[in-house]
């Protein structure tokens, strides 16, 4: 894994990177060790995306409350 790419910053960049990883994994043309490394990287990116989406959702809810808007909070459990 000598090629280092810049860390994706936006959710869109993360999705693009995840799609690339999925495509590589689905091709089946890569050795097991590289597949495992790609899978691990994909899991890390997915977690980063989840954190960013949760932060965005929280920000929207705060803005809605600040503006007196109605917020339908779902139970996440």
According to the model, what pLDDT value does residue 1 have?
A: 43
CA distance 32 to 25: 10
Residue from 26, 20, 9 nearest 42 by CA: 20
pLDDT tens for residues 11-53? 999 999 999 999 999 998 999 999 999 999 999 999 999 999 9
Q: Let me know if residue 40 belongs to a domain.
A: yes
Q: Let me know if residue 73 belongs to a domain.
A: no
Q: Let me know if residue 5 belongs to a domain.
A: no
CA distances in angstroms from 29 to 4, 22, 37, 76, listed in the order given: 21, 12, 14, 39
- For residue 15, the surrounding DSSP H or E stretch is helix 11-27
According to the model, what pLDDT value does residue 66 have?
A: 78
| Domain containing residue 48 | 11-65
Whichever domain contains 25, its CATH number is 1.10.287
Q: Please, which pLDDT band fits residue 65 given cuts at 50, 70 and 90? A: confident
Question: How many Å is the Cα radius of gyration of the chain?
Answer: 17
When divided into structural domains, the chain yields a total of 1
Q: Let me know if residue 45 belongs to a domain.
A: yes
According to the model, what pLDDT value does residue 50 have?
A: 95
Q: Let me know if residue 28 belongs to a domain.
A: yes
């Amino acid at each position: 894994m000598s090629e280092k790419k810049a860390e994706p910053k936006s959710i869109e960049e993360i999705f693009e990177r995840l799609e690339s990883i999925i495509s590589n994994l689905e091709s089946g043309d890569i050795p097991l060790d590289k597949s495992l490394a790609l899978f691990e990287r994909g899991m890390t990116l997915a977690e980063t995306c989840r954190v960013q989406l949760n932060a965005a959702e929280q920000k929207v809810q705060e803005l809605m409350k600040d503006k007196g808007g109605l917020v339908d909070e779902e139970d996440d459990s």
